[in-house]
Amino acid sequence: MRGYDQIRFDPGVVRGLDYYTGAVFEAQLTFPVTNEAGEEIVFGSVVGGGRYDDLVARFTGERVPATGISIGVSRLLTALRQRRTANLPPLALVLALDKEDRAGSFALAAELRSAGLRTETYTGEAGMKAQLKYADRRGAAIAIIEGGDERARGEVTIKDLVMGAKLAKSLESRAAWIEGRPAQVTVQRAELVARVRELLDCASR
């Protein structure tokens, strides 16, 4: 059909439920997705529905023409998350350590976004350790730390989470890593964008 090149009529589509009284339809994801095992798969149907004029009457006794759909939310989100993660640039997470100045954290993130860098700000109430765990769950490449002391000095601390994870595995002890801190640097606030860009570029290689 002209203008609807992603819509196809298929008389062979059959819905399993018995209350449909007319046409049925499905929406399918046709793009390939790489799963966590590295296998390329196609998710297929994520939406289904159709015409069911008698369904309302089962509950109200009144026959009402109706059409509706059901969305497989978990299936759809899994597919989109896998596809998005594969195509998105590395993430920088701004930690929220100064609870009295959340606006400062949001301003810092906004500056990085305006420079074209993918950035998120932590919005919870947890401490630094929990925020870093959140960064790991989000797959963040770096964490940006600007507490009250750093802000007073005009500095920002940048933690390279990708390098930190590699070093934690390669060094014999956590104490040796803490002593050297090769994956954490403190820079002047004016240098933030340039240094974050440099680290994110390295993470994307």
Residue 5 lies in a domain: no
Q: Where are the alpha helices (DSSP H) in 27-68?
A: 55-60
User: In the numeric block, which tokens belong to residue 15?
Assistant: 């819905």
Residue 94 lies in a domain: yes
Residue 1, pLDDT above cutoff 50: no
The neighbouring-strand residues paired with 47 are 27, 71
**How many structural domains comprise the chain?**
2
Torsions phi, psi of 151, nearest 5?
A: -65, -40
For residues 106 and 80, state if they share a domain.
Answer: no
For residues 128 and 197, state if they share a domain.
Answer: yes
| Rounded average pLDDT over 167-196 | 67
Residues 193 and 111 sit within 8 Å (Cβ to Cβ): yes
Residue 7 lies in a domain: no
Residues 112 and 92 sit within 8 Å (Cβ to Cβ): yes
**Per-residue pLDDT tens digits for 61-117:** 888 889 999 998 888 888 777 766 656 778 889 988 777 778 888 888 999 999 988
Residues 137 and 126 sit within 8 Å (Cβ to Cβ): no
Helix (H), strand (E) counts: the chain: 8, 10
Residue 8 lies in a domain: no
**Per-residue pLDDT tens digits for 26-62:** 988 887 777 767 778 788 888 999 998 888 888 888 8
Residues 64 and 29 sit within 8 Å (Cβ to Cβ): no
**pTM higher than 0.85 for the full model?**
no
For residues 103 and 194, state if they share a domain.
Answer: yes
Encode 143-184 in three state secondary structure: EEECCHHHHHHCEEEEEEHHHHHHHHHHCCCHHHHHHHCCCE
For residues 160 and 100, state if they share a domain.
Answer: yes
**Per-residue pLDDT tens digits for 112-149:** 999 988 898 988 878 888 888 888 888 888 899 888 78
Q: 């998710």: which residue's tokens?
A: 43
For residues 194 and 120, state if they share a domain.
Answer: yes
For residues 179 and 154, state if they share a domain.
Answer: yes
Domain that holds residue 74: 24-86
For residues 35 and 108, state if they share a domain.
Answer: no
